[in-house]
Amino acid sequence: MSTLRILGYDLNFLEYYMPKNLFITIGDVCISIEGDPQNPGREIPPAYQPFIATASPEIRLRMHLGTPETSGEKKLFDSSPIWTLHRQGKGFVIKIYENIEGQKQILSVFPDFRKADLYLTGPGGSFNDLFYGPTLELLMVNYLAQDSGVIVHACGINRDNRDGRGILFVGESGAGKSTLAKLWDQEKGIDILSDDRIIVRKKAGQFWMYGTPWHGEAKFVSAKGVRLEKIFFLQQDHKNSIKAVQGTYPILQFLKASFPPFWDAKGVEFALEFFNDLAVSVPCRELSFKPDNSIIDYIKAHGER
């Protein structure tokens, strides 16, 4: 059995195994994961279990054993030792854990990131786990950058289960996202979508935020989405305060705490336009806070301004 905190509760999961084909929906994007010839009975990690949902797939990910032909590729971005991105013909190749013995993965992707082939370590290797590492997140980052949305380092909560009141707390590592998630978890009627990564998308003229499986140290995950009502940029301090922000400040804060595809000029342009639209459409504030329960009451009292 595995245990994970989801929506503020400790849940025990029975063995939940991966079928040959699997559908996972994250941020209203359905990914079909097709084929697992070596180990069709692999356990699905608890963080991904809430996202198992059958829908019409927007992304098809086919799994293979072995190593594909990757000659002639041109390196576009280097995030060693975790991953590197290369151009190959009209498509892309992402090499993951290339220099780590037994953990190498190669993701070969079509230009629109709607189809991809994932090559895992062969039968003689010690590793062939799709869910380990950044594979699915990298696929989503690139897909969303094609005019669909962004992934932001943030804690996201829903303050109203009936009507939906989404609040986004944006911050880099160490800004206090997991601390805030734990504090909000003590409040009644609160859904915590994530304590580390949130997907933000615009649908029918409104911005929505969605939980992801890629949690922080507090391990909050939720497959839910909610309309985004307010945004706070986190600053830890010795006192609680909320300040208005203006100009380019919100856009810079989003860029610091997000995953824009710096290797893709059109993707970066989309991210800048998206963040500008988001900052204009949704009220943004800077939040300084002490990491204790007083910040929750302070936000309730002053956060509506």
Structure confidence by residue, pLDDT tens digits, 131-180: 888 999 999 999 999 999 999 999 999 987 766 789 999 999 888 999 99
Q: Which helix (H) or strand (E) holds 11?
A: strand 9-13
Most confident of 9-18, 34-43, 84-93: 84-93
The pLDDT score that the predictor gives to residue 156 is 97
Return the higher-pLDDT residue of 272 and 238.
272
Share of the chain above pLDDT 90, in %: 64
The pLDDT score that the predictor gives to residue 40 is 44
Contact (Cβ atoms closer than 8 angstroms) between residue 216 and residue 196? yes
Q: Give dist(CA 267, CA 138) in Å, integer.
A: 14
Contact (Cβ atoms closer than 8 angstroms) between residue 179 and residue 289? no
Compute φ and ψ for 304, nearest 5 degrees. -85, -5
The pLDDT score that the predictor gives to residue 65 is 80
Return the higher-pLDDT residue of 42 and 19.
42
- Structure tokens that stand for 202 in this block: 């615009």
Q: Give dist(CA 144, CA 231) in Å, integer.
A: 20
pLDDT greater than 90 at residue 241 = yes
The pLDDT score that the predictor gives to residue 1 is 36
The pLDDT score that the predictor gives to residue 152 is 97
pLDDT greater than 90 at residue 14 = no
The pLDDT score that the predictor gives to residue 9 is 39
Q: Give dist(CA 91, CA 73) in Å, integer.
A: 10
Confidence of residue 11 (pLDDT cuts 50, 70, 90): very low
Distance of CA 111 to the CA centre of its chain: 21
Return the higher-pLDDT residue of 77 and 4.
77
Q: Give dist(CA 51, CA 293) in Å, integer.
A: 31
- What interhelical angle do 265-281 and 249-256 show, nearest 10? 130
Return the higher-pLDDT residue of 262 and 43.
262
One-letter identity of residue 111: P
Torsion angle defined by CA atoms of residues 221, 92, 117 and 225, in that order, rounded to the nearest 10 degrees: 20
Q: Give dist(CA 101, CA 127) in Å, integer.
A: 9
One-letter identity of residue 256: K
The pLDDT score that the predictor gives to residue 71 is 74
Q: Give dist(CA 117, CA 236) in Å, integer.
A: 42
Confidence of residue 7 (pLDDT cuts 50, 70, 90): very low
Q: Give dist(CA 290, CA 270) in Å, integer.
A: 35
Place of tokens 């039968």: 123
| Average pLDDT of the residues of the chain | 86
Q: How many residues does the chain have?
A: 305
**What are the residue ranges spanned by the domains of the chain?**
2-144, 150-302
**Which of 194, 197, 220, 63 has the alpha carbon at shortest distance from 135?**
63
Place of tokens 């293979």: 64
The pLDDT score that the predictor gives to residue 259 is 85
The CATH class for the domain spanning 150-302 reads: alpha beta
> Tell me: the pLDDT tens digits for 247-268?
999 999 999 999 888 889 999 9
Determine if the peptide bond prior to 37 is cis (ω within 30°). no
Q: Choose the weakest-confidence range: 97-101, 169-173, 293-297.
A: 97-101
Return the higher-pLDDT residue of 298 and 43.
298
What ranges in 145-264 are assigned the alpha helix state H? 177-184, 249-256
The pLDDT score that the predictor gives to residue 274 is 97
The pLDDT score that the predictor gives to residue 304 is 63
3-state secondary structure of 200: strand
